[in-house]
Amino acid sequence: MVDIDTVMENGKCMECGAAETDGLSCFEMFHYPLAWEHRDPEMYALHFWLVSCYMIQHPSNYTEEGYKLLAELFTDAYDHRWSTERILEKNRELVSKAGKITNPLPSRQRKRTSRSWSMTIEDLYRGGEENAIRGILKWRDAVRKDIQN
């Protein structure tokens, strides 16, 4: 299992900058849309985008190579409008060729760098389940724009 807990400092995530909401860290907020997608096949079809948006904003979860591969996969899938099947196929191919992609250090020992993002899991969570599909698509667009800058 991958240790992907986040570190909140002064009510904000040290990496993505999401504010604690309803007493939840950004990692805890992330669990809500993961649950929502199991009730909605349309939303579940966006699982790659949901997870990759969150993970791109938390690079401490990856080795340098792992993060680079994730960002490249996200960018290629977005720019070329890949189907979910193509994304999963390419992901399997990249992971099989890569070395260790997840950060082996325990969460509290990882180096974290704060970065400003135009949208985070906080925005998706605050939008609620009824707006989640639109929110994921908006988040996907925002992350793509943010990582090209």
- Give the distance from CA 101 to its chain's centroid: 15
Token pair 């099989």 is at which residue? 96
Per-residue pLDDT tens for 105-126?
888 889 998 999 999 999 999 9
H/E stretch holding 9: strand 8-9
The pLDDT value recorded for residue 4 is 61
At residue 1 the predicted structure's pLDDT band, cuts being 50, 70 and 90, is very low
The pLDDT value recorded for residue 107 is 82
Per-residue pLDDT tens for 37-75?
999 999 999 999 999 999 999 999 998 889 999 999 999
Name the pTM for this structure. Answer: 0.91
Per-residue pLDDT tens for 22-43?
999 999 999 999 999 999 999 9
Residue 87 in any domain: the answer is yes
**Domain range spanning residue 88?**
38-104+120-149
Residue 51 in any domain: the answer is yes
The pLDDT value recorded for residue 101 is 85
- Specify the number of domains making up the chain: 1
Query: What does the alpha-carbon distance between residue 49 and residue 34 come to, in Å, rounded to a whole number?
Result: 11
User: Contact at 8 Å (CB) between 20 and 12?
Assistant: yes
Per-residue pLDDT tens for 128-140?
999 999 999 999 9
